[in-house]
Every structure is written in structure tokens, then in C-alpha cells.
Amino acid sequence: MTHNNTKAERTGFGSKIGIILATAGSAVGLGNVWRFPYMTGENGGAAFLLVYIACILLLGLPGMISEFIVGRRAQANAARAYDNLSGERPWRFVGYLGIFTATIILGFYAVVAGWCLQYLYASLLGHVQGSADYAQTYFQQFASHPVKPVMWALAFIIITHMVVVRGVRKGIERASKFLMPILLILLVILVIASCSLPNAWKGVEFLFKPDFSKLNSHVFLEALGQAFFSLSLGTACLCTYASYFKRDTNLLGSAAQISVLDTLIAILSGLMIFPAAASVGINPDSGPSLIFITLPNVFQQAFGAIPVVEYVVSIMFYALLVFAALTSTISMHEIGTAFFTEEMHMKRRNASFVITLTASCISVFCAWSVGAWDSLKIMGLSLMDFCDRLTANILLPLGGMLTCIFVGWFIPRKIVFEEFTNQGSINANLFLLFVFTVRYICPIGIVLVFLHQLGII
């Protein structure tokens, strides 16, 4: 009976297209629009992009299919899924690791999402327009304010909480159907606007003309981390979502579609930011503030001649960014919520509350660590950057690697075959390639990147 109840509570997603959209919604977020440009900017541009694409194809795509296989087969939350399929309890650990990682990510991600909310609010009031200098000062003053960034971050977590508890995910799915295409169209418009600014070509060159002397071991690790972060891999997040998939969902096809869409949005974001940054003389390696100090200039320079257009475009952009961030935070929240609901037999409301409270605490400290408490450093990084690098560069690749090893070596081959090919009806030709990749390429590739970073090879 209890089991039936939890089942009923879990079937949150509606139509087939809705499920795929929700998964794409998890993948597409601040990772594409905020983190990708700033990582690319800090790691030398085009050469980073090439390594990033290689990571998506060789490690990310097979990793995503692996999480899908575990989730859809087990039809359970992160921890139970690994346990069910192996019959060996230690594998639950991968699920626990995922829940831990996702909650930390939710904590610092909400800070950036909160910045977006503040920018939405400020653009409604018409406050974020001005020169490059003005945009930089505005950002610094806001981010270092002791109260404002904390309030916005908490507001964002509360919105996420409300969606997760009320299960209005159906509404979100429906909204995704038209908001995602609008985001894409608006991005294209902004790319065109940004690329037509004076000296924009320097930014385009930065993104597409590789300088291989910029490649070092750290660049490989950052590209790997960014690929996993952007695809929402390595926390059993996609595994949790795949547990809501239908039997006839094509796992390979869906993973390919989501990866292509995700990479496209990241590249478009780069094409929106770098030409504009080059044009007004903002350094591409400005770090986490990059999009916040660059965008107001794009809006002003491209549309400033007609103030109404500038006003509307900036509001639309920040609103879409907030929406994209929300579909991602929902997915991070859902991992822990599903776990506590099903494994600890908690009410969904209480389970969500545990995650909300934990993430809120992390968020408050992260928000302070980039402003009022910026002298507090862990290994030379602010708490926010530390949480970001710890999760993206270490915990996500580790979680992804364990999932690949699990699928490649521990789940009976017959089960993997059934899930990959939907009972032998599709993709059978690519099956052996997939198995080879998850058995050897992914684990070895990730270990090599780690060892290289440590200076061992």
C-alpha cells in the first residue's frame, strides 16, 4: 500500500514530450548561459570549446544513457535504483553521493539564480542600463551587499520548493513547450545583436580560433567538469528523471537530442557574450560576473536607440533565464526529495523541507562568501567557488564514472541490452559500441583527466 502511494506520488510527469522537455529543462540552465561563457573565458576560448565538445561526445553522452538505463529499469529514487539493480548494498553509495552533490549544487546555484531574479526585478524598474563601468559597479555593489543577494537566493529556493511540493511540474512542462523555443529565438536575436557591435569579431575569434598553447591539465579538468555540470550528469539526477520515463522512450535518441540542444545553447551563449565583451573591452576571464557585466551593454548598445525595445528585451531575457534556472533547480531538488519520501517514508512535503533547509544554509554562506565575507577562503577560493569546483570538477565526474562502471561491469548485460534497445526493437547495432564505451573509454578517460590534473601523468 505504502509502495503504491509513493508510486502515485512519483508519476509527476505527463506526456512523452513533456518528459523529454523536463529532462532538457534540467540540462539547460545557468550552466549554459552563465557558467559556460565564464569557464570558456577563463580557460582560453576555442581550445577549451574543442575539449568540451570531446568530453560531451565521449564521456557525457554515454554517461547520460547509463543514468537513463539505471533509472528507467529500477523505477526508483537514486539510492534504491543502484541497490535494486545490483543486489549489492554498497552501490547505494552512488545514490547517496548524488544526493549530497546535488544539494550542494542547489545551494550555490540558487545564489546565481538569485542574481538573475534581482536583475529581472531591476530591469523591470529600468535600473540596469548603462555603460560598461556602470554595469561593473552595479554588479559589485549588489553582490557584496550583506542582505540583498541572500534574500534573492532564498526567494529562489522557496519558489523551487513550492513547485516541487505542489507538483505543479505539469504546468512547468507545458510552459517549457513554448518558453524553451522563445529562449532559443531570443538568444539568436542577441547573438546577432552582439556580433554586429564594433570589434565583435575579436570575440568570435576568441570562441572559434583555437590557440592550443592554452591547453594544460587544468583546462581538461574544467572542460570535463563543465560538460557534466551542463548535462546534469553525475548526481543520479537524470536517473531519477528516467525513472519517470515511458517504456518506449528511445534512450539513445533522447540523450543525443538533449546533448545537442544543450551544447547549442551553450555555444549561442558564448556567441552572445564574447563579441559584446570584446566590443566594450570587458576581459573574457572576468569570472562569475562575466554575463552580468556584459549583458547590460548588449541591451544598451544594440537596442538603446529605441528604449522600449531595450526595456522589453532585457526583461524577457532575465525572465527566461530565471525560468531556465528554475527547471534546473527543480531537478536538483527532486533527487533528495524523492529519496527522503521513498526511503525514509516521509511525507513529500517534509522531505522537500529537509532539502530546502539544507540548501538554504549553503546558499546563505555562499552568497556572503562572494561579498561581505570575501576574505574567507578555502584553498584560495571563496566558499562559492569552492563548492562549484568541488562538485563540478570532482564529485560529478566521480559519480558519472561510477555509474558507467556500474552499467558496464555490474548490471547483467541482458538488462542493459533490453533498456538500450527497448527490448531489441531499436539501436541494436550501436549496443556493442555503447558497452565498450562505458566499460573502458569513460572510466579510463575520467581517471586520466584526474591523474593529469594531479601531475601524476
Residues at the interface with ligand TRP (CB under 6 A)? 26-27, 29-32, 102, 105, 229-230, 232, 235, 237, 328, 331-332, 396
Nearest distance from C-beta of residue 247 to ligand TRP, angstroms: 24
- Angle at CA 95, nearest 5°, toward 90 and 96? 85
Residue 213 burial class via C-beta count within 10 angstroms: exposed 0-12, middle 13-18, buried 19 and up: exposed
The C-alpha cell of 426 is what? 531499436
| Residue closer to ligand TRP, measured from CB, 136 or 328 | 328
Cα(429)–Cα(391) distance, integer angstroms: 35
- DSSP conformation letters of 27-73: HSSHIIIIIHHHHHHHTTTHHHHHHHHHHIIIIIHHHHHHHHHHHHH
Q: Which residues are CB-neighbours of 222 under 8 A, at least 6 positions away?
A: 39, 42, 43, 48, 393
| Residue closer to ligand TRP, measured from CB, 200 or 231 | 231
Nearest distance from C-beta of residue 52 to ligand TRP, angstroms: 13
Three-class DSSP category at 377 = strand
Per-residue 3-state assignment (H helix, E strand, C coil) for 396-439:
HHHHHHHHHHHHHHHCCHHHHHHHHHCCCCCCHHHHHHHHHHHH
Handedness of CA 255, 260, 263, 269 (dihedral sign): negative
Nearest distance from C-beta of residue 22 to ligand TRP, angstroms: 11
Nearest distance from C-beta of residue 26 to ligand TRP, angstroms: 5
| Residue closer to ligand TRP, measured from CB, 186 or 237 | 237
Three-class DSSP category at 378 = strand
| Residue closer to ligand TRP, measured from CB, 136 or 235 | 235
Nearest distance from C-beta of residue 403 to ligand TRP, angstroms: 12
| Residue closer to ligand TRP, measured from CB, 109 or 417 | 109
| Residue closer to ligand TRP, measured from CB, 195 or 291 | 291
Cα(246)–Cα(206) distance, integer angstroms: 43
Nearest distance from C-beta of residue 413 to ligand TRP, angstroms: 28
Cα(238)–Cα(332) distance, integer angstroms: 10
| Residue closer to ligand TRP, measured from CB, 72 or 310 | 72
| Residue closer to ligand TRP, measured from CB, 26 or 77 | 26
Nearest distance from C-beta of residue 183 to ligand TRP, angstroms: 13
Nearest distance from C-beta of residue 67 to ligand TRP, angstroms: 10
| Residue closer to ligand TRP, measured from CB, 67 or 310 | 67
Three-class DSSP category at 22 = helix
Going from the C-alpha of 174 to that of each of 15, 24, 71, 265, 322, the distances in angstroms are 10, 13, 23, 20, 16
Nearest distance from C-beta of residue 129 to ligand TRP, angstroms: 26
| Residue closer to ligand TRP, measured from CB, 60 or 443 | 60
**Whether 269 contacts 121, CB under 8 Å:** no
Backbone angles phi, psi at 369, to 5 degrees: -70, -15
- Angle at CA 244, nearest 5°, toward 156 and 94? 75
